[in-house]
Amino acid sequence: MEYWKRVSLSLLTVACLGTIAPRPAQANQANLFTQTEVDQSRYVVMAVPLARGGYRLLVVEQLKDTRPCWSESGSNPVVIEPLLTTFDFTGICGRATDSNGYSIRVAQQDLGLQYNLRIERGNGELLLVGSSNRGGSRMVIGRTHGMQEGQFLKFQLEPTWRLTRRTYEGRVLGHVYFTNDSWEAATGSAPNNLPAPTTPASTEANPMPKPQS
């Protein structure tokens, strides 16, 4: 009986480790996930306006070139037209709508348990921010460089940030990382004179229209 208890506990530990990212302190010993580079032009990161106010984060990937998943217009800010809402985008467009689909990765460390992705409004633009729930430094990951109320706005990632994909044992997964190669670059990307945010917004799943049948 004692033997089977030990086996059960070992299996439970393995199962749990497969569903969460390790803490930075554990990363050198048990970092289950790695990252792979992607073509940045195949992705768009956008702020989606909510009817009740505020914004939520959406990442769209162009999987196939059958039909475009979005279009862009203007500059400072760039306005996104989410074309994927007008057709059955299955197999053509990929979406990451919440923390199950995207997270932050810095210096080869998964920060899904330590940092939340938030959208903050201030100084005439929207900021995509990594906000620590353990007292860590705030990270500015992207910005819209302007405002247009009620529009889908494109986040331009800061120079040291890029998107990558999560991999596990050589297999590329659907999860998207907002990636920076160093802690110094990640935490130093926010200017000292950033204004205090006035409109924080959750980044949980945004209700998008279902694909047409």
User: According to the model, what pLDDT value does residue 98 have?
Assistant: 96
153 forms bridges with which residues in the sheet?
47, 79
| pLDDT band at residue 188 under the 50/70/90 scheme | confident
User: According to the model, what pLDDT value does residue 32 have?
Assistant: 85
Q: What is the DSSP string of 153-172?
A: EEPEEPTT-EEEEEEETTEE
CA distance 175 to 19: 12
Q: What is the pLDDT of residues 18-59, one digit of tens each?
A: 333 333 434 443 368 999 999 999 999 999 999 999 999 999
How far are the Cα atoms of 16, 68, 123 from residue 62, in angstroms, in the given order? Answer: 32, 7, 31
Q: What is the mean pLDDT of residues 66-93?
A: 97
Quote the pTM value: 0.76
Q: What is the mean pLDDT of residues 60-87?
A: 97
Lowest-confidence pick of 2-11, 156-165, 166-175, 190-199: 2-11
Q: What is the pLDDT of residues 148-169, one digit of tens each?
A: 999 999 999 999 999 999 999 9
CB 139 within 8 A of CB 152: no
Sheet (strand 55-62) strand order: 71-73, 79-81, 152-154, 43-49, 55-62, 93-96
User: According to the model, what pLDDT value does residue 31 have?
Assistant: 65
In the numeric block, which tokens belong to residue 95? 């979406």
CA distance 55 to 70: 18
